[in-house]
Structure 1
Amino acid sequence: MTLSAILVAVVLCVIAAWLLMDNERDHAISHRLRHVYGADLELMRQFAHHTPPAVIDDKGTAATQLVDPAGRVVSASNRVIGEPRMATFVPSQGKAMDRRLCDVPGFPGQCMIVAAMWVPVRGGDLIAYSALPAPPWYGSQALLAQLVAASAIVLVIVGLGIYQLVGRTLQPVEDMTAELAEITSTDLGHRVPVPAHHDEIRYLATVVNDTLELLEAALRRERRFTAEASHDLRTPITGAILRLEEALMDPDTVDWPRMAKDLLSDVERQQAIAEDVLTLARLDADRTAQHEHTDLAELASTELRRRLPGRVPIHTDLQPGVVVSCDRLLIARMLANLLNNAQRHAATAVTVAVRAEDDTGVVAVVDDGAGIAPEHREIVFERFARLPESRERDPKGTGLGLAICREIAHAHQGSLNIEDPGQGACLVLRMPLAN
């Protein structure tokens, strides 16, 4: 960035210097033209109707000549005595003319500004030529030296200033990089420093810290989930091992059919936990399943027809035409989980309702049981979270059913929450309607 700024400054300095030198050169040319024309006018005044001598004063110019219409030099200043005429251009009668000529006789390898006008003398009119050296392209050596010195100072100031400015601007980025380099998968407690000034780098630091917060929370959640899954899987395994060890100590007194039934119950619980853990892992890893337009009322009806009669009846209030874009298998799995949960806790009946609210499709599963206390309405969605009533009604439960339901809802840009129906529990799924 510093080099780029210096290059831009160089270009600007060159342009500014060129404009200044061009202006100085134009000014010098105008000044010298006035001088050489003044010299010609002085010759006109001095020799008007007189015969000029062979050697004349140069009138402060580099050279002066009087030339007759035939091109013969009649008079000349000391510098060009014996030289041919300085220029061949001839002004109109009564007019003046000037040219920039190079390799003028008497001035080899040099460019001159030559002005010409007619001078009336005795015996006829002569052409007066006066010449001064043309100014160089840079105007003057003094100006060139000043511009070079000024440009060098400007470039040094720009280079140092931009280097310091960019360094101070990017220092927070270097600090953030150093802090991020210390973060490992086992230690996400570091946070990058947030600059005091409000700019894009502060916004970047804030976003990075927010991302680290999310990563740390996700890691804590995964560690807790792993610990809880390990605990829940270890419990039935430990129970099965203890039963087998006791049975093997005195095999003749063991009721082996009952032992097999108990072991089968433990294995079924392990299988249920493993399936639910696998489902959650898949939902966490891939939320890009193929969605299709689905009528929620039709999907709920299909799921209800498949179910075996439960402990309590299921009533329906299904509004047709509530179409969403979803993975039918996942939504069906969620409905099954919600219905199982509602039937376990209902006193006399369960109600399933499907309706549309604005741009949202709503599925509500309501039971008339004891309900869920407000302080527990988020806890029940945590993985392996089980309230005492749930443990009593379903000892073989995994505590992952509602967690899976909420993950499925989030995978469809929806939400699953517990609302207050007045009595019992009301779990409400909300999903955006299909376009």
Structure 2
Amino acid sequence: MAGRHMPSLLRPRSIQARTALMSAVLSLVFLTVIGFSLDIAIRNRIHDHLFMETQRVATDWISSMGSGGVPEPPAGHKDLVQLVDSRNRVITASRAARGLPPLTTPFPTGQDPLQYRIDCPDEGRCVVLTAVRVLPMQSRLFWDGEPHAVYAGRTEPGLLASRRLELFIGIGVLLMTAGWTWASWRVAGRTLRPVREIRERVTEISVRDLTLRVPQPSGRDEIAELARASNHLLEHLDTSVRQQKHFASMVSHELRSPLAGLRTQLEEALLYREETDPYETIRTAVRTTERCQAIIDEMLTVARVRTAATGEPELVSLGALAREEAAARTDGVPVHVDVEDEVTVLGNRVQLCGVLTNLMVNAQRHACSRVDVTVGRAGGEAVVTVLDDGDGIAPEDRERVFEPFVRLKEGRRRDPKGTGLGLALCRVTADTHHGTLRVEDSPRGARFVLRLPLPAGVSPVGAGQALSR
């Protein structure tokens, strides 16, 4: 069981804790390496200094040995100086080294007369010393040629002997690791603070209220981009939910009246069987059902275009499509098509065909004598204009006509059976194709203008060849 819980202990859930833990581990390893290197450097520096001092003491004493004999050893209270013979017996020593055995063994050889050594007895501090062999001329002068040597040493400082250096370095490593870990914890906490605020705000947001937005920090880092993307998504969700609620309320309103009338007629037929013509009741019910079915079908079409993911787009020639749809409009006022420039767009052919059909049908319904359809381009957009010579649309109603189930008085008079979803479907289709559909000014009649982006890198000739294949 302990093995199962170990990974969770070593890997905390919090990103802040994981960041601090990783920083602590890395800083501890890094600072330990630095502390180990610093310990070696300090020890070597102190030892080198002691070697230089002991060598100076030994060589100065040897240099003072002349015709006047062997002088007394140096009297420094820190200097451990001994004169030993070839059998490593102490001949004379300084006051600090009297009574001590030889500071080091073995006796230095003739091939290596100067040696640096660190001797550590079983008890006590280590001795850093220099062993120097006396010159042969001096050995012949004083000891009949028997080799002698001078041992000059100093006791290792307490900082090194008691391991206090390692203790101080270890404490420093731990303090610096703790400081670095604390700094990493604070920095990670400050960095992740916007994330916590976003999480807290997201928990407050519900489907019933999508007006709230997450806090958006300044800057262009990943957290700021996440906040902007989240707000963008919330805005789209809010718009979609509001459209869905509005759409559902309008659908229920449009269906409530015919269904209520249908129910009333059926109830009257049941209550007044002898006074009611059953065939007339059935015919009326069929007409009401057809109207309800038309509303539901167009409602589903609008919902499908708005929410369904579009398939693979294809090259569509708007000029050819306009000619085909105009040729199919044999009833009503004539439709004239003028293709100023062959333009091709990427999109759903069936949906774009539905847009042109609805615009032409709407224009024929309100036109007096003719409908003009113009296909061209303006800048980087394909432009399709459908113009009728009717009474036109008032400026305050030019956006209302694209709302679902909105029908102006003239439209209800000319087409009592209409549902008011045709232009709404056209606007939704234009939006899904990253285009626009608006009612623009015209000297007479209503002028609907559809603008769609032109695909990059597709020429009209190439598009026509692609369509012909």
Same fold (TM > 0.5): yes
Does the 8 Å contact 1:100/1:134 carry over to 2? no
Match of 1:183 among 196, 205, 227: 205
SS in 2 for 1:421: coil
Q: Distance in 1 between matches of 2:382 and 2:162?
A: 84
Q: Distance in 1 between matches of 2:414 and 2:129?
A: 114
Q: 2:97 matched to 1:79?
A: no
Match of 2:345 among 310, 313, 324: 324
Q: Distance in 1 between matches of 2:177 and 2:392?
A: 77
Does the 8 Å contact 1:25/1:135 carry over to 2? no
Match of 1:121 among 135, 138, 151: 138
Q: 2:329 matched to 1:313?
A: no
Match of 1:298 among 320, 328, 333: 320
SS in 1 for 2:373: strand
Could you say which residue in structure 2 is the equivalent of 1:380? 401
Q: Which amino acid aligns with 2:132?
A: A
Match of 2:308 among 283, 286, 289: 286
Could you say which residue in structure 2 is the equivalent of 1:362? 383
Could you say which residue in structure 2 is the equivalent of 1:24? 42
1:21-76 Cα distance to aligned partner (Å, 9 max, x none): 344223212211112211221231232457669x97797555645566xx877857
Could you say which residue in structure 1 is the equivalent of 2:440? 419
Q: Distance in 2 between matches of 1:9 and 1:82?
A: 43
Q: Distance in 2 between matches of 1:260 and 1:314?
A: 39
Percent identical among aligned pairs is 31
Q: 2:411 matched to 1:390?
A: yes
SS in 1 for 2:376: strand
Match of 2:369 among 348, 355, 358: 348
Could you say which residue in structure 2 is the equivalent of 1:408? 429
1:53-107 Cα distance to aligned partner (Å, 9 max, x none): 9x97797555645566xx8778575534497524457347xxxx44456679x99
Number of residues paired by the alignment?
A: 425
Q: Which amino acid aligns with 2:439?
A: I
Could you say if the C-alpha distance between residues 41 and 284 of structure 1 is closer, same or farther in structure 2, counting changes exceeding 3 Å? same
Q: Which moved more, 1:232-241 or 1:252-261?
A: 252-261
Could you say if the C-alpha distance between residues 111 and 45 of structure 1 is closer, same or farther in structure 2, counting changes exceeding 3 Å? closer
Match of 1:337 among 339, 358, 361: 358
Could you say if the C-alpha distance between residues 302 and 75 of structure 1 is closer, same or farther in structure 2, counting changes exceeding 3 Å? farther
TM-score, normalised via structure 2 length? 0.77
Q: Distance in 2 between matches of 1:208 and 1:378?
A: 30
SS in 2 for 1:47: coil
Could you say which residue in structure 1 is the equivalent of 2:24? 6
Q: Which moved more, 1:409-418 or 1:332-341?
A: 409-418
Does the 8 Å contact 2:329/2:335 carry over to 1? no
Q: Which moved more, 1:279-288 or 1:155-164?
A: 155-164
Q: Distance in 1 between matches of 2:351 and 2:159?
A: 82
Could you say if the C-alpha distance between residues 276 and 117 of structure 1 is closer, same or farther in structure 2, counting changes exceeding 3 Å? farther
Could you say if the C-alpha distance between residues 76 and 408 of structure 1 is closer, same or farther in structure 2, counting changes exceeding 3 Å? farther
Q: Distance in 2 between matches of 1:244 and 1:84?
A: 127
Could you say if the C-alpha distance between residues 186 and 331 of structure 1 is closer, same or farther in structure 2, counting changes exceeding 3 Å? same
Q: Which amino acid aligns with 2:50?
A: R
Q: Distance in 2 between matches of 1:240 and 1:25?
A: 104
Could you say if the C-alpha distance between residues 348 and 260 of structure 1 is closer, same or farther in structure 2, counting changes exceeding 3 Å? farther
1:378-414 Cα distance to aligned partner (Å, 9 max, x none): 2222222222222222221112111111221222222
Could you say which residue in structure 1 is the equivalent of 2:59? 41
Q: Distance in 1 between matches of 2:315 and 2:383?
A: 15
Could you say if the C-alpha distance between residues 276 and 111 of structure 1 is closer, same or farther in structure 2, counting changes exceeding 3 Å? farther
Does the 8 Å contact 1:49/1:121 carry over to 2? no
Does the 8 Å contact 1:13/1:151 carry over to 2? yes
Could you say if the C-alpha distance between residues 334 and 113 of structure 1 is closer, same or farther in structure 2, counting changes exceeding 3 Å? farther
Could you say if the C-alpha distance between residues 209 and 81 of structure 1 is closer, same or farther in structure 2, counting changes exceeding 3 Å? closer
Q: 2:195 matched to 1:173?
A: yes
Match of 1:275 among 297, 302, 310: 297
Could you say if the C-alpha distance between residues 413 and 136 of structure 1 is closer, same or farther in structure 2, counting changes exceeding 3 Å? farther
Q: 2:233 matched to 1:211?
A: yes
TM-score, normalised via structure 1 length? 0.82
> Which structure 1 residue ranges, 5 or more long, are not aligned?
none
Q: Distance in 2 between matches of 1:244 and 1:82?
A: 126
- Deviation of 1:222 after TM superposition, in Å, equals 0.6
SS in 2 for 1:29: helix
